[in-house]
């Protein structure tokens, strides 16, 4: 069993994190969703601000989706925030504003999968549930020298079995958190600090000298790169924003309208076509405002923003959920993705300089 040396190490080296100060189910739930695909250092401030704004499930459920997205802005993967909001409303209506202490019931709620349900039940309710995240997979792949490619069905089945077999009864919460901390501080992806590891004597990969080759990661596919355009349309000191549809990438967020450049198009041609398709109006493209880069999980984007003017027609929300004309100083009230926020901030600064 690896649990005893691990728990002894954790008793001394546990990270001080705000959701561990008062490990109630709501705090554990929010922190675990935030920690998906996001570094702990980033999450700490977001979590603190979130709990100040939405101190309990009822407050969250009674808030608008736009308030929730605005609070989430910058964390990315916005479906997480929308699912949190949906779940809060279900909890308010069906569970008296409380998270249920049942693994299967939790997994029926939006955005809560097997890992998150296990984290909540073990850490908040003291139940004997093993958890399995990226850190824990990496540790188990090294301790037991698992040569199966990670994330394959066979590997997932084996990792869950190993996690459950090594679970110490009555201490699942600390055990799961200890594994997470070990993976975040010692059993690192690139250069594991094996000489500091409390599980070194139990680690088959270390014994065989293959710890840096575990876990086995399948070869990554090339990441597509898209060239995207955006129109900055101004009328009477108001800028046009379009709200993205609720479903899909950046759902519910606001943006400066535009879209992808197609083959054999110039950037102005691409922007004029996209605006006609999305808003049903003609524009003139007048000046390049800025170039912006952003990497998403499965692709990356270079966005070119242009100052534009309306030539013919009134903008209509053909593809957007809705449109809004917004003053520069009010752009911060609208939740946006990172690139659009950069554009909005530059417009606000420009407006401040002109005062």
Contact 103, 116 (CB under 8 A): no
Tens digit of pLDDT for each residue in 42-84?
A: 999 999 999 999 999 999 999 999 999 999 999 988 999 999 9
Residues 251 and 77: beta-carbon distance below 8 Å = no
What tokens appear for 52 in the block?
A: 């100040």
Backbone φ and ψ for 153, nearest 5 degrees, come out as -55, -40
Same domain? 209 vs 233: no
Kindly state whether residues 44 and 173 are assigned to the same domain: yes
Residues 132 and 169 in one domain: yes
- Are 68 and 173 members of one domain? yes
Average confidence (pLDDT) over 168-175 = 95
Domain contains 255: yes
Gap between the Cα atoms of 118 and 133, Å rounded: 11
Tell me whether residue 281 is in a domain. yes
Q: CA-CA distance, 288 to 305, in Å (whole number)?
A: 6
pLDDT at 298: 87
What share of the chain in percent tops pLDDT 70?
99
Does residue 355 have a pLDDT over 70? Answer: no
Which of 213, 240, 270 terminates a domain? The answer is 213
H or E element in which residue 283 lies: strand 282-295
Could you give the number of structural domains in the chain? 2
Same domain? For 252 and 293 the reply is yes
Range of the domain at 205: 3-213
pLDDT band at 296 (very low <50, low <70, confident <90, very high): confident
Residue 219 located in a structural domain: no
Catalytic residue among 8, 32, 156, 291: 32
Predicted pLDDT of residue 23: 79
Instruction: Provide mean pLDDT across the span 115-141.
Output: 95
Evaluate whether residue 220 is within a structural domain.
Answer: no
Closest CA to 139 of 103, 189, 99, 92: 189
Last residue of a domain, one of 181, 213, 245: 213
Residue pair 318/295 in contact (Cβ under 8 Å)? The answer is no
Mean pLDDT of 176-187: 96
Answer yes or no: do 234 and 205 share one domain.
no
State the Cα–Cα distance between residues 33 and 28, nearest whole angstrom: 9
DSSP letters of 294-320? EE-SS-EEEEEEEEEEEEES----SSS
Residue 345 is a catalytic residue? no
**93 and 174 both lie in a single domain:** yes
Q: What is the mean pLDDT of residues 124-135?
A: 94
28 lies in the same domain as 144: yes
| In a shared domain, residues 187 and 255 | no
Contact 291, 342 (CB under 8 A): no
pLDDT band for 200, please (50, 70, 90 cuts): very high
pLDDT at 182 over 80: yes
Q: Among 213, 248, 268, which residue terminates a domain?
A: 213
CA distances from 261 to 75, 227, 264, 272, 290 (A): 27, 6, 9, 10, 16
Residue 103, domain CATH:
1.10.340.30
* pLDDT given at position 22: 75
Confidence of residue 351 (pLDDT cuts 50, 70, 90): confident
Does a structural domain hold residue 122?
yes
Give per-residue pLDDT as tens, 11-37. Answer: 999 999 999 987 799 999 999 999 998
Enter the pTM of the model: 0.87
Residue 354's pLDDT band (boundaries 50, 70, 90)? low
Same domain? For 199 and 230 the reply is no
* Same domain flag for 136 and 232: no
**Residue 138 belongs to what H/E stretch?**
helix 134-143
**Residue 218 falls within a domain, yes or no?**
no
């Amino acid at each position: 069993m690896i649990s005893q040396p691990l728990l002894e190490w954790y008793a001394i080296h546990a990270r001080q994190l705000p959701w561990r100060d008062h490990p109630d189910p709501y705090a554990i739930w929010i922190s675990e969703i935030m920690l998906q695909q996001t570094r702990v250092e980033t999450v700490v401030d977001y979590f603190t601000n979130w709990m100040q704004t939405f101190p309990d499930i009822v407050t969250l459920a009674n808030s608008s989706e736009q308030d929730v997205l605005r609070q989430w802005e910058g964390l990315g993967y916005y479906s997480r925030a929308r699912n949190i909001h949906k779940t809060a409303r279900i909890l308010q209506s069906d569970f008296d504003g409380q998270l249920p202490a049942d693994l299967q019931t939790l997994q029926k709620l939006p955005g809560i999968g097997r890992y998150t349900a296990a984290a909540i039940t073990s850490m908040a309710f003291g139940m004997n549930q093993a958890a399995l995240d990226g850190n824990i997979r990496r540790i188990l792949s090294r301790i037991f020298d698992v040569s199966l490619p990670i994330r394959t069905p066979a590997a997932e089945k084996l990792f869950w079995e190993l996690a459950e077999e090594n679970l110490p009864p009555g201490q699942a919460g600390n055990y799961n958190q200890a594994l997470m901390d070990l993976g975040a501080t010692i059993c690192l992806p690139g250069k594991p600090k094996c000489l500091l590891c409390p599980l070194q004597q139990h680690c088959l990969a270390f014994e065989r000298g293959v710890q840096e080759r575990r876990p086995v990661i399948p070869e990554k596919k090339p990441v597509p790169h898209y060239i995207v355009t955006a129109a900055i349309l101004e009328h009477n000191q108001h800028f046009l924003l379009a709200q993205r549809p609720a479903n899909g990438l950046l759902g519910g967020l606001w943006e400066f309208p535009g879209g992808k450049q197609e083959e054999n198009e110039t950037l102005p041609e691409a922007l004029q076509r996209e605006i006609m398709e999305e808003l049903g109006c003609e524009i003139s493209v007048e000046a390049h405002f800025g170039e912006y880069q952003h990497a998403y999980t499965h692709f990356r984007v270079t966005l070119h923003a242009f100052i534009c003017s309306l030539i013919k027609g009134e903008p209509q929300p053909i593809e957007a959920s809705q449109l809004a004309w917004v003053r520069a100083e009010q752009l911060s009230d609208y939740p946006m993705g990172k690139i659009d926020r950069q554009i909005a901030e530059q417009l606000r600064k420009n407006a401040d300089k002109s005062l």
